[in-house]
């Protein structure tokens, strides 16, 4: 039993969610000590599984009254420690709130609970001619609630935008237990964009319990191409050339040789193992312009020295290609026992530069780094391979990661494109934003979350002295 909790808390939680809805045994809590980011860990003291908004509100009130920190969690696929219970306390797991409440094809919106897995919505929409556009690579497992928290992107954000562009409204529970609705099924609501503020707030403002999402019409057709290049520079130049020509691909992804080898081992797609880089390019829209666009892209790739440009023959081949791309991170397990995926953004024209820097940094720290990323919007994902059992290697990985992200900032970019700040990037906030900007954010958070009981130690650096701040030197190596 956790020592620092008021003794009345667990019985109170049991009254709210029942015995099936509470975990308090040490062994049961262990798996909740981290998410997809495994470098830092901390076990919650209690886990609860509410099944409706009312229960969430009651649990929140109960935590507030007890003065205990609480943090929401969905599928736990965050790569930045977004679900880490920094101060221990109560973890509110929303995986039992997993219903699709409404699909309205005429007004093109759906209402879902936060625990709905992203791909379930798309599956439920099969046959309607509509889909939910944000398609993070982990869409087979991550929840829409988690997507809202981190404002998730995905390969198709280049054309369709990120989660915030597709959320019409949310119902949420504020840290004082009040249930509020922001926005709703209609598109425009006057006043301050509170929905926009909620999306991407990483659970520091409120716990989202219901989401109205926009549904997007399926494009009439797709053309999916695979450009094979003998040098990374040629590939990145091709990216610039394509965008420079005013083409907006639905997706434009780059995979380097290291990742190609892992994917080939996992999926046997037939990727050329000797290529230095491949570009996965997709255009979609009305059938009528697609062939011309495709022709243009093939041409541009050739001009930049592409060895060949392959076309996906049919829907099945397209689906396989995307499956490979989306599961790329997971396939890393085949290359090394542990990995750390970075998530930085640079202006597109800086891609060749940053990739050269990454190689150089990797060499200097003797860390192997492979790359797979959303090239179209300059969102890079260098993946650092290491063995977690060697603490010295872990230090080198952290050092190399920091240098890469520093470089992103130096190029005028950002330290996260889509994974969020979580606990991983919190140290960079002061470098990314001015003290004034951070102060505005902190004050906004305080307005809703005055005691910082909800998701403490996340996203915004806390003032020194509260004991929750994470420091790089305290990071532990463990999985």
Partner 1 sequence: MNQDPDPHLPHRSARTGLAAPDVSNPGSAIDYERFLDCVHCGLCTAACPTYVELGNENDSPRGRIYLMRGVTDGRIDLTPGVRRHLELCLDCRACETACPSGVQYGKLIEPFRVAMETTEPNGRGKTHDWFHRWILFGLFTQPRRMRAALVPARLLQRLRIDRWIEATGLWRLLPQRIGRLLTLLPRLGPRTPDLPSFLPAVGRRRARVVLFKGCVGDVMFGSTNWATARVLQANGCDVLIPESQVCCGAIHYHAGHSEPARELADQNLAALKPADVDAIVVNIAGCGSMLKDYGHHWHDGRQADRTAFAAKVRDVSEFLDELGLVSPPGPIPHKVTYHDACHLAHAQRVREAPRRLLRRIPELVIEELRESDLCCGAAGTYNLTEPEMADRLARRKLQNILETGVRVVVTGNAGCLLQIARESRLQGHVLRVLHPMDLLDLSYRNECLTI
Binding site for ligand SF4 (CB under 6 A): 330, 333
What is the 3 state secondary structure string of 324-369?
HHHCHHHHHHHCCCEEEECCEECCHHHHHHHHHHHHHHHHHCCCEE
Min dist. Cβ of residue 333 to ligand SF4 (A): 5
Min dist. Cβ of residue 28 to ligand SF4 (A): 16
DSSP state, 473? G
Of the candidates 389, 437, 446, 451, which one interacts with partner 1 according to CB under 8 A? 389
Of the candidates 53, 138, 201, 350, which one interacts with partner 1 according to CB under 8 A? 138
Q: Which residue's CB is nearer to partner 1, number 21 or number 169?
A: 21
Beta strand extents in 174-235 (DSSP E only): 179-183, 207-214, 216-217, 221-229
Distance (Å, whole) CA 346 – CA 151: 18
Q: By CB under 8 A, which span of 53-61, 192-200, 271-279, 321-329 interacts with partner 1?
A: 321-329
**Contact yes or no for 227/281 (Cβ under 8 A):** yes
Q: By CB under 8 A, which span of 74-82, 223-231, 304-312, 357-365 interacts with partner 1?
A: 74-82
Residue 240 interaction partner, one of ligand SF4, partner 1, none, beta carbon < 5-8 Å per kind: none
Min dist. Cβ of residue 337 to ligand SF4 (A): 11
Q: Rule CB under 8 A: is residue 361 a binding residue for partner 1?
A: no
Q: By CB under 8 A, which span of 100-108, 213-221, 331-339, 405-413 interacts with partner 1?
A: 331-339
Exposed / middle / buried, residue 458 (Cβ in 10 Å: 0-12, 13-18, 19+): buried
Min dist. Cβ of residue 119 to partner 1 (A): 8
If we measure between CA atoms, which residue out of 435, 454, 413, 472 comes closest to residue 59? 454
If we measure between CA atoms, which residue out of 281, 250, 302 comes closest to residue 131? 250
CB atoms within 10 A of CB 288: 9
Exposed / middle / buried, residue 435 (Cβ in 10 Å: 0-12, 13-18, 19+): exposed
Q: Rule CB under 8 A: is residue 266 a binding residue for partner 1?
A: yes
Distance (Å, whole) CA 163 – CA 214: 10
Q: Rule CB under 8 A: is residue 30 a binding residue for partner 1?
A: yes
Q: How many residues bind partner 1 (CB under 8 A)?
A: 51
User: Minimal CB distance to ligand SF4: which residue?
Assistant: 333
Q: Which residue's CB is nearer to partner 1, number 137 or number 224?
A: 137
Min dist. Cβ of residue 219 to ligand SF4 (A): 30
Q: Rule CB under 8 A: is residue 95 a binding residue for partner 1?
A: yes
Q: Which residue's CB is nearer to partner 1, number 159 or number 326?
A: 326
Q: Rule CB under 8 A: is residue 43 a binding residue for partner 1?
A: yes
Q: Rule CB under 8 A: is residue 96 a binding residue for partner 1?
A: yes
Distance (Å, whole) CA 477 – CA 103: 45
If we measure between CA atoms, which residue out of 444, 468, 462, 233 comes closest to residue 351? 233
Min dist. Cβ of residue 30 to partner 1 (A): 6
Min dist. Cβ of residue 457 to partner 1 (A): 11
Q: Rule CB under 8 A: is residue 386 a binding residue for partner 1?
A: no
Q: Rule CB under 8 A: is residue 313 a binding residue for partner 1?
A: no
**Residues whose CB falls within 8 Å of the CB of residue 320, separated by 6 or more in sequence, listed in order:** 267, 269
Q: Rule CB under 8 A: is residue 75 a binding residue for partner 1?
A: yes
Residue 478 interaction partner, one of partner 1, ligand SF4, none, beta carbon < 5-8 Å per kind: partner 1
Distance (Å, whole) CA 142 – CA 148: 11
Q: What φ, ψ does residue 278 adopt, rounded to 5°? A: -125, 150
Min dist. Cβ of residue 100 to partner 1 (A): 13
Residue 202 interaction partner, one of ligand SF4, partner 1, none, beta carbon < 5-8 Å per kind: none
Distance (Å, whole) CA 331 – CA 229: 22
Q: Rule CB under 8 A: is residue 339 a binding residue for partner 1?
A: yes
Q: Rule CB under 8 A: is residue 33 a binding residue for partner 1?
A: yes
Q: Which residue's CB is nearer to ligand SF4, number 300 or number 331?
A: 331
Q: What φ, ψ does residue 227 adopt, rounded to 5°? A: -95, 130
Residue 461 interaction partner, one of partner 1, ligand SF4, none, beta carbon < 5-8 Å per kind: none
C-alpha 408, offset from chain centre: 18
Distance (Å, whole) CA 195 – CA 211: 10
Of the candidates 72, 82, 115, 413, which one interacts with partner 1 according to CB under 8 A? 115
Q: By CB under 8 A, which span of 190-198, 252-260, 277-285, 335-343 interacts with partner 1?
A: 335-343
If we measure between CA atoms, which residue out of 427, 375, 420, 364 comes closest to residue 397? 364
Q: Which residue's CB is nearer to ligand SF4, number 33 or number 403?
A: 33
DSSP state, 390? -
If we measure between CA atoms, which residue out of 322, 324, 299 comes closest to residue 309? 299
Q: Rule CB under 8 A: is residue 338 a binding residue for partner 1?
A: yes
DSSP state, 202? T
**Contact residues for partner 1, defined by CB under 8 A:** 23, 25-28, 30-36, 38, 40-43, 49, 75-77, 93, 95-96, 98, 115, 117, 119-120, 123, 138, 140-141, 265-266, 327-334, 337-339, 389, 474, 476, 478-479
């Amino acid at each position: 039993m956790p020592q620092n909790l008021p003794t009345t808390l667990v019985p109170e939680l049991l009254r709210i969610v029942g015995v099936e809805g509470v975990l308090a045994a040490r062994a049961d809590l262990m798996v909740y000590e981290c998410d997809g980011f495994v470098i830092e860990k901390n076990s919650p003291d209690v886990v609860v599984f509410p099944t409706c908004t009312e229960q969430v509100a009651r649990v929140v009130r109960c935590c507030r009254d007890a003065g205990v920190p609480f943090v929401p969690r969905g599928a736990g696929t965050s790569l930045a420690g977004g679900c880490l219970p920094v101060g221990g306390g109560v973890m509110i797991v929303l995986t039992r709130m997993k219903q699709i409440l409404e699909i309205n094809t005429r007004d093109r919106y759906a209402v879902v609970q936060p625990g709905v897995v992203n791909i379930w919505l798309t599956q439920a929409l099969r046959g309607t001619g509509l889909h939910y556009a944000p398609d993070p690579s982990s869409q087979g497992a991550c929840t829409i609630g988690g997507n809202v928290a981190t404002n998730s992107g995905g390969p198709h954000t280049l054309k369709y935008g990120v989660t915030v562009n597709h959320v019409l409204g949310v119902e949420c529970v504020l840290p004082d237990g009040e249930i509020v609705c922001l926005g709703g099924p209609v598109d425009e609501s006057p006043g301050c964009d509170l929905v926009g503020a909620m999306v991407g707030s990483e659970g520091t403002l409120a716990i989202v319990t219901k989401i109205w999402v926009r549904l997007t019409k399926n494009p009439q057709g797709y053309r999916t191409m695979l450009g094979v290049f003998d040098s990374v520079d040629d590939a990145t130049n091709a990216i610039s050339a394509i965008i420079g020509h005013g083409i907006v691909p639905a997706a434009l992804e780059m995979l380097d040789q290291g990742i190609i080898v892992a994917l080939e081992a996992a999926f046997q797609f037939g990727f050329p193992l000797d290529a230095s880089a491949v570009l996965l390019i997709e255009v979609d829209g009305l059938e009528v312009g697609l062939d011309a666009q495709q022709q243009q892209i093939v041409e541009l790739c050739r001009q930049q020295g592409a060895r060949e440009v392959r076309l996906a023959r049919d829907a099945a081949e397209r689906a396989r290609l995307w499956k490979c791309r989306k599961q790329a991170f997971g396939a890393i397990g085949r290359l090394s026992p542990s990995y750390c995926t970075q998530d930085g953004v640079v202006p597109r024209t800086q891609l060749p530069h940053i990739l050269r820097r990454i190689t150089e940094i990797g060499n200097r720290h003797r860390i192997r780094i492979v790359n797979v990323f959303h090239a179209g919007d300059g969102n890079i994902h260098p993946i650092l391979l290491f063995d977690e059992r060697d603490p010295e290697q872990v230090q080198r990985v952290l050092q190399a990661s920091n240098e890469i992200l520093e470089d992103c900032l130096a190029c005028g970019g950002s330290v996260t494109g889509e994974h969020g700040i979580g606990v991983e990037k919190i140290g960079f906030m002061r470098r990314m934003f001015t003290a004034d900007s951070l102060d505005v954010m902190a004050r906004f958070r305080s307005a809703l979350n005055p005691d910082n009981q909800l998701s403490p130690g996340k996203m915004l650096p806390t003032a020194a002295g509260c004991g929750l701040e994470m420091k790089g030197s305290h990071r532990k190596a463990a999985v």
